[in-house]
């Protein structure tokens, strides 16, 4: 086989490989009956049936064997450890679960996550508002990355269920320095802010100096 024939063969093989990868990466239309692969981070039996359809549920061990995220049409996160939550938010591939989520985001594979997958949302009560806020910030980072939340079949997450800050602002909107000073007059240490509230930099400084923990309130659906 001369160089020209080898080049031609290489081109044909490359095209075939790209075509195969493209088919594997196609999104299965809603309502389609053909089977497709869904990678589950956590316990597959906790994924609500309406999110499964005709999918073949694959555990993390399947990805560990292939390291090919394009084998799956979706990734569903059922459960994360605190370390995994922080590592994914920081873009660190410290284990195969983190790697799968980050590679899916990088390569355009849909990633969904149960609302109570983050461990702090499954706790009966979080006694540290500051810690709760930090962990919720990690969740918000994941949402900005493109991960979508969906409700599970059990109880709603802690953020909407059992964490009750000591007082709340009256309504969502813009909180200025003057409003922040008013809210800190009572000397409380936790402030619940409705989703969508915007803080000015000076308002954040006021809360920081007063050591007030900001906790974001999430509506119950």
- Threshold 0.85, pTM exceeds: no
- Give per-residue pLDDT as tens, 154-175: 443 333 333 434 445 555 578 8
- Give per-residue pLDDT as tens, 183-217: 888 776 677 777 667 888 888 888 888 877 776 65
Question: Looking at residue 208, what is its pLDDT?
Answer: 80
Q: Which position has the token pair 């390291």? A: 67
pLDDT at 25 over 70: no
Q: Give the chain's end-to-end CA distance (angstroms, integer).
A: 66
Percent of the chain having pLDDT more than 90? 29
Q: What is the DSSP string of the chain?
A: --HHHHHHHHHHHHHHHHHHHHHHHSPPPTT--S-EEEEEES-GGGS-GGGTTTEEEE-HHHHHHH--GGG-SEEEE----HHHHHHHHTT---SHHHHHHHHHHHHT-EEEEETT-SGGGTSS--S-HHHHHHHHHHHHHHHHHT-EEE--SSPPPHHHHT---S-B-SSSSEE-HHHHHHHTTT--SEEEEETT-EE-HHHHHHHHHTTPEEEEE----
């Amino acid at each position: 086989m001369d160089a020209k024939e080898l080049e031609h063969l290489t081109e044909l093989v490359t095209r075939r490989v790209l075509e195969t990868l493209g088919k594997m990466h196609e999104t299965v239309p809603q309502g389609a009956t053909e089977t497709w692969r869904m990678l589950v981070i956590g316990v597959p039996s906790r994924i609500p049936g309406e999110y499964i359809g005709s999918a073949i549920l694959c555990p993390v061990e399947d990805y560990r064997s292939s390291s090919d995220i394009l084998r799956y049409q979706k990734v569903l996160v059922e459960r994360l450890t605190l370390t995994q939550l922080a590592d994914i938010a920081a873009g660190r591939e410290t284990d195969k679960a983190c790697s799968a989520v980050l590679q899916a985001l990088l390569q355009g594979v849909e990633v969904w996550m149960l609302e109570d997958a983050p461990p702090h949302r499954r706790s009966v009560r979080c006694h540290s508002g500051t810690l709760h806020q930090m962990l919720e910030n990690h969740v918000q980072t994941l949402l900005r990355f493109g991960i979508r939340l969906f409700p599970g079949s059990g109880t709603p997450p802690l953020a909407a269920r059992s964490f009750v800050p000591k007082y709340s602002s009256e309504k969502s909107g813009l909180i200025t320095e003057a409003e922040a000073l008013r809210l800190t007059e009572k000397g409380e240490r936790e402030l619940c802010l409705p989703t969508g509230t915007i803080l000015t930099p000076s308002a954040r400084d006021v809360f920081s100096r007063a050591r007030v923990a900001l906790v974001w309130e999430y509506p119950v659906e």
